[in-house]
Amino acid sequence: MTRPVRTASATRHLVHVNGIRIGDGQLPVVIAGPDVIESERHVLSHAERLKRICDRVGLPYILKCSYDKGNRTSLRSYRGPGLKKGLPILAKVKRQLGIPVLSDIHCRQEVKPAAEVLDVLQVPAFLCRQTDFVVAVAKAGKPVNLKKGQFLAPWDMARVIEKAASTGNHQLLVSERGTSFGYNNLVSDLRSLQVLDAFGYPVIYDGTHSVQLPGGLGAASGGQREFVPALVRAAVATGHCHGLFLEVHENPEQAPCDGPNMLRLDRLETLLREVKAIHSALRHERE
């Protein structure tokens, strides 16, 4: 990393999602769920169990589950039920469980219908440089999660944030999800979190995509989920992480996509208790 860390922004933004406050001084938010909707029953079951875990630990929770994955490695990879079938499922999760929902979207045509259901709109990492798309998503007026492309330096996200904020929408999250490191590999440079935090918007660490091995299985991505806990703990310990993005599944080996990098559901509670303890220790030191 050759460019110096910027001085902290004079303005520190809090992001509000259905009563959840994300940013400085707040408990880290947990954005978690299966990679993609497999069925209505599957996503409802996971959302309910994830909410119970977060309630026990005492951390705020937002469901992450995609209605469509338009960036799969292979044409034959599972993408999900799509916009028309997937959004009603996410709406049902909100209605029955009272959980805010997040999904990535992939084109401007999806913004309006997605914004009618989703509480957070996500700009996928591969699309963070698409100016018209980023602006259209931010114009919807909903909180937006801007994922840093694995091909970008952390300071390059200043321009992405500028595009989104130009609409007057300052309800922005910025997510670190690893950086390309040679072929079929990603690496997490946790200095990135401090750089991103200096822009004044809450920073989310994506602990599961950061261990992905893109295209590592040939027709699909591989992953190294065994490193997720250590990286997540380290990210929170930097003091520049306001939330975690985690893809979680009860049986990753049977997941239709991204299984190798997803965290097992039965491992989540222990990890979140460690995260909360680290966050509490940091807060105590600063008081």
Q: Could you identify the residue written with the tokens 């957070």?
A: 120
Torsional sign, CA 123, 128, 133, 135? positive
What number of other Cβ atoms are within 10 A of residue 2's Cβ? 4
Q: 231 near 186, Cβ under 8 Å?
A: no
172-184 per-position pLDDT tens digit: 999 999 999 999 9
User: Residue 44 and residue 41: Cα distance in Å, rounded?
Assistant: 5
195-229 per-position pLDDT tens digit: 999 999 999 999 999 999 988 888 788 889 999 99
User: Residue 162 and residue 157: Cα distance in Å, rounded?
Assistant: 8
The DSSP code sequence of 187-198 is E--THHHHHHHT
117-149 per-position pLDDT tens digit: 999 999 999 999 999 999 999 999 999 999 999
The pLDDT of residue 287 is above 80: no
Quick one: tokens of 120? 């957070």
User: Residue 137 and residue 241: Cα distance in Å, rounded?
Assistant: 24
Mean pLDDT to the nearest integer, 235-241: 98
The pLDDT of residue 6 is above 60: no
Least confident stretch, 73-77, 153-157, 162-166 = 73-77
Fold of 28-277: TIM Barrel (3.20.20)
Per-residue confidence (pLDDT) for residue 242, from 0 to 100: 98
Domain range annotation of the chain: 28-277
Mean pLDDT to the nearest integer, 258-264: 93
User: Residue 109 and residue 136: Cα distance in Å, rounded?
Assistant: 9
User: Residue 228 and residue 208: Cα distance in Å, rounded?
Assistant: 6
Quick one: tokens of 143? 């909180």
Q: 207 near 235, Cβ under 8 Å?
A: yes
The pLDDT of residue 107 is above 90: yes
Question: What's the mean pLDDT when you consider all of the chain?
Answer: 94
List, in order, residues 6 or more apart from 117 with CB less than 8 Å away.
Answer: 87, 88, 90, 91, 94, 101
DSSP structure class, residue 265: H
Per-residue confidence (pLDDT) for residue 286, from 0 to 100: 79
User: Residue 27 and residue 134: Cα distance in Å, rounded?
Assistant: 28
The pLDDT of residue 57 is above 90: yes
Quick one: tokens of 70? 């338009």
Q: Is 227 helix (H, G, I), strand (E, B) or coil?
A: helix
Per-residue confidence (pLDDT) for residue 61, from 0 to 100: 98
Share of the chain above pLDDT 70, in %: 97
Position 1 confidence tier, pLDDT thresholds 50, 70, 90: low
Position 19 confidence tier, pLDDT thresholds 50, 70, 90: very high
Share of the chain above pLDDT 90, in %: 86
Per-residue confidence (pLDDT) for residue 194, from 0 to 100: 98
Q: 17 near 119, Cβ under 8 Å?
A: yes
Query: Comparing 4 with 247, which gets the higher pLDDT?
Result: 247
User: Residue 150 and residue 128: Cα distance in Å, rounded?
Assistant: 10
Q: 115 near 139, Cβ under 8 Å?
A: no
Per-residue confidence (pLDDT) for residue 27, from 0 to 100: 98
The pLDDT of residue 3 is above 70: no
